[in-house]
Structure 1
Amino acid sequence: MFRRTRYQQGTIDRVKRKQGPDCWIFRWRETDASGKRVRRKVVLGTIEKYPTESSALKAAESLRVTINEEQPRFPQQPVSVAALITHFKLHELGPIQEDDEGRAFSTRTVYSDFLRLYVEPKWGDSGLREVRAVAVEKWLRTLPLARGTKSKVRNIMSVLFNHAIRHEFLPQNSNPITMVRQSAKRIGVPDILDVAELVALFEELSHRERVMVLLDALTGLRRGELMALKWQDANFEELELSVTRSIYRKVVGRCKTLASEKPVPLDPWIAEELLTWKRGCPYNQPEDWIFASTRMKGKQPYSPDSILKRCIRPAATRAKIAKTIGWHTFRRTFSTLLKANGEDVKVVQELLRHASTKITLDVYAQAVTPDKRRAQTKVADMLRAGVGARKKSLLDPSGPSTISQEAVSD
């Protein structure tokens, strides 16, 4: 019959080395496959890294949690938030395996950053039962962050404490973050561009950036999906774009959701612009990135932040657009223009590849590809007409001219 052993604290010893500084050793016992109790040990670090025994004990806390995973934890054994974060990162935010269906790389990175920047500095030394909803709520109010960012901090803390409950560091239904109130409502309305502003922006962009912005504004791709496109993803015969990957901080991974991997229709105008770019760019083989960086010799796509800062925002300034423009601006603009055209909400959802709108729509409605293509083409026609009218006015000597002929022919 299986018998649980008592909760182990383990021991910390300072050990002299023949070479180099002394180190701290953490020792404990565990049951091997034959049922025999054996001694185990692990090197925590040198005295240079942990100069005092208390600092070494703190470093060992996350290990202590791990070696006692088969033992009941609550209510007698306190666990610190710092130890919980270490345990959470080890089990939930580790390297992504090929068959991993968990969080995407971008999500794991954001979780790690938020825990490191906000949660651990404030709550790391606190025991799990010392964290109270009202205290967390007051602390969130002091953070110099946008409401949406504060809400994300709150949500990540809630996931962290749910992890503690799942691994029995806390009893069921004892997540204090569930009672924390934090609004995610925007203080201001995010900027979107109208058709005239998009057309003016196109005129100020070079061919490369114009193709990027046009493709983004007429497909609503997320920036990581846009930069991760390869020429093999563009089906010019079927006028479809396969979105199968995303890139974040130079790491290529899967898309945000399964819905994100659905094919995206390509309006003939977008397809023509893409083909023109393909004929002129140095990297145009099926395995090449559509927007391959020449500085990286085609091995990496361009950095979306760099393109935005160095090319798109200066072009917006030249076009006298005073709005704050980011990559998500084009996705929001696409959504707004679709809604302005009176498109069905399900069609909009599938064009933007959201996971869902409402359960009712997901269960009872399915947008077909012709409907999505027609909706996209309406927006493309609006922009194409605007570009044509703009060029006509620029070529008319009697009309106002705000851009050089070289820019028109570019």
Structure 2
Amino acid sequence: MLGSFRRRGCTCKKKRCTCGSKWTYRYHIIDPKTGKRKQKETRGFDTKEEAEAEAKRILAELQNGTYIEEKDITFNQFAEEWILIYEKSGKVKQSTLDIRKAKLKHLENFFGQIKLKEITKLMYQQFLNELAEKYARKTVASAHEVGSMIFKKAVELEIISKDITEYAEIPRKMQTVDDLEKQEELPRYLEKDELKRFLEAAKYSIRPIDYPAFLTLAYTGLRVGELCALKWRDIDFDEQTISITKTLYNRKNKSGAHELQTPKTKSSRRIIDVDKSVLDVLDRHKNQQKIVSMDDRENDFIFADENGQPITTYYIWRRMVALLKEAGIKHHLSPHSLRHTHTSLLAEAGVSLEVIQHRLGHQDDKITRSIYLHVTKPKKKEASQKFAELMGGI
């Protein structure tokens, strides 16, 4: 026997209700704590057939011993539990945790006090659809990733019986012709003469740290967090190399409120060659640090403030805006643009894509590849023309 079915508050008495009433399925289970039978019900079905289909599923699970009694816990209550489990796993960087918490707020605002077991696939898809109307697809995908982690953990802990996020789709906006025409194929970066002007402005800056910091960024392609985390022990002046083994994370962009983290990816940990001219500038910067140090000790961080704390990524961003203005460069660029600049100039110099990718610390990157192909395209045409000239025509 499947149990009993009823339609709550129906006034129209039709097979497919038109008055908004829903079908409910009642059944009995054995309480594992007391060993006694107790009544359960699942509700919210538009038709009796839908209720019967759910009843068959529940009956099969009861017979197979796979039935899970879903708990009466709201989304917000379980989300609070989940973030604690996630945080204490020991596998998560603080920066990742902060991103997860930020995206979790979108889910909490939508589902709030709704019981976890009452959230349907349709409701979850509606959440993604509404989020996509306000935010970029990357934000929606990140929020979905958090949602998926939460519901999977709830299934694992037997709070609910199924993961309703499994087949959800992240909405994709259809691009118009106008969108494609306005879309920039490549990110902005500095041309060679612009980079010279920018570094010239940094060289004569009233802040002594500007020139060595931006020269290093431009000549190595380091990420800003990698630059700020550099210590003197990371530089081998004899071998003329820099070891990248860590990155700096500032939770509130305040000096002293930092955390050294492992590199972004496995390929981010690397040793790169550095030109002697850059090392000479860094060596002078090192000597200057010894002079200004009150206790005559060598400051461990290469780029540090007066208290010996590493400069923040926000400081680098702020100084770049000021120096671009000083150099008369009107592009709206970020420090990350210097990685793109490094890519373009290396490609122009004939360095292979594989070597560039190693210097930048990633195995493959769409933007890096697109810049490389853009810069080397004329050389490829030149190669075909030279071959034709060599053959002297057909």
Bin for the TM-score computed over the shorter chain: 0.5 to 0.7
Q: Indicate the RMSD between aligned Cα atoms, in angstroms.
A: 3.4
Q: Distance in 1 between matches of 2:278 and 2:83?
A: 42
TM-fit CA distance, 1:138 = 2.2
Question: Which of the numbers 142, 167, 184 marks the counterpart of 1:152?
Answer: 142
Q: What SS does the corresponding residue of 1:348 show, helix, strand or coil?
A: helix
| Distance verdict in 2 for CA 1:347–1:159, change over 3 Å | farther
Q: Is the aligned partner of 1:105 residue 2:94?
A: yes
One-letter amino acid of the structure 2 residue matched with residue 134 of structure 1: Q
| Distance verdict in 2 for CA 1:163–1:182, change over 3 Å | farther
TM-fit CA distance, 1:313 = 0.7
| Distance verdict in 2 for CA 1:137–1:121, change over 3 Å | closer
| Distance verdict in 2 for CA 1:356–1:161, change over 3 Å | farther
Q: Is the aligned partner of 1:275 residue 2:283?
A: yes
Q: Distance in 1 between matches of 2:266 and 2:99?
A: 20
Aligned residue in 1 for 2:320: 312
Q: Distance in 2 between matches of 1:227 and 1:89?
A: 29
| Distance verdict in 2 for CA 1:226–1:163, change over 3 Å | farther
Question: Which of the numbers 93, 103, 108 marks the counterpart of 1:114?
Answer: 103
Deviations 1:13-39 (A, max 9, x none): xxxxxxxxxxxxxxxxxxxxxxxxxxx
| Distance verdict in 2 for CA 1:345–1:160, change over 3 Å | farther
| Distance verdict in 2 for CA 1:191–1:167, change over 3 Å | farther
Q: Is the aligned partner of 1:211 residue 2:212?
A: yes
| Distance verdict in 2 for CA 1:150–1:180, change over 3 Å | closer
Q: Is the aligned partner of 1:127 residue 2:120?
A: no
Conserved 8 A contact 1:161-1:177 = no
Aligned residue in 2 for 1:142: 133
Q: What SS does the corresponding residue of 1:125 show, helix, strand or coil?
A: coil
Deviations 1:54-85 (A, max 9, x none): xxxxxxxxxxxxxxxxxx89463354321332
TM-fit CA distance, 1:301 = 0.8
| Distance verdict in 2 for CA 1:142–1:179, change over 3 Å | closer
Aligned residue in 1 for 2:154: 164
Q: What SS does the corresponding residue of 1:327 show, helix, strand or coil?
A: coil
Aligned residue in 1 for 2:196: 199
TM-fit CA distance, 1:154 = 3.1
Conserved 8 A contact 2:212-2:285 = yes
| Distance verdict in 2 for CA 1:342–1:163, change over 3 Å | farther
Aligned residue in 2 for 1:399: none
Question: Which of the numbers 308, 311, 329 marks the counterpart of 1:302?
Answer: 311
Q: What SS does the corresponding residue of 1:242 show, helix, strand or coil?
A: strand
TM-fit CA distance, 1:228 = 0.9
TM-fit CA distance, 1:120 = 1.7
Counterparts of 1:243-258 in structure 2 under 5 Å?
243-249=244-250, 250-258=258-266
Q: What SS does the corresponding residue of 1:263 show, helix, strand or coil?
A: strand
Q: Distance in 2 between matches of 1:190 and 1:150?
A: 22
Counterparts of 1:349-388 in structure 2 under 5 Å?
349-354=357-362
Q: Distance in 2 between matches of 1:184 and 1:159?
A: 28
After TM superposition, the score normalised by the length of structure 2 is 0.62
Q: What SS does the corresponding residue of 2:248 show, helix, strand or coil?
A: strand
Deviations 1:230-263 (A, max 9, x none): 1111111111112222221212222222222222
TM-fit CA distance, 1:176 = 4.6
| Distance verdict in 2 for CA 1:166–1:180, change over 3 Å | farther
Conserved 8 A contact 2:226-2:244 = yes
TM-fit CA distance, 1:357 = 6.1
Aligned residue in 2 for 1:232: 233
One-letter amino acid of the structure 1 residue matched with residue 109 of structure 2: P
Conserved 8 A contact 1:232-1:286 = no
| Distance verdict in 2 for CA 1:138–1:344, change over 3 Å | same
TM-fit CA distance, 1:119 = 2.5
One-letter amino acid of the structure 1 residue matched with residue 129 of structure 2: K
Q: What SS does the corresponding residue of 2:209 show, helix, strand or coil?
A: helix
Q: Distance in 1 between matches of 2:354 and 2:194?
A: 27
Answer with 1 or 2: which has the greater Rg.
Answer: 2
Q: Distance in 2 between matches of 1:78 and 1:289?
A: 52
TM-fit CA distance, 1:184 = 12
Aligned residue in 1 for 2:379: none
Aligned residue in 2 for 1:346: 354
Aligned residue in 2 for 1:82: 76
Q: What SS does the corresponding residue of 2:102 show, helix, strand or coil?
A: helix
| Distance verdict in 2 for CA 1:177–1:87, change over 3 Å | farther
One-letter amino acid of the structure 1 residue matched with residue 76 of structure 2: A
* Residues 102-111 or 157-166, more deviating: 157-166
Deviations 1:333-375 (A, max 9, x none): 22333344454333232211125569xxxxxxxxxxxxxxxx9
Q: Distance in 1 between matches of 2:131 and 2:232?
A: 45
Aligned residue in 1 for 2:46: none
Conserved 8 A contact 1:240-1:263 = yes
TM-fit CA distance, 1:140 = 1.4
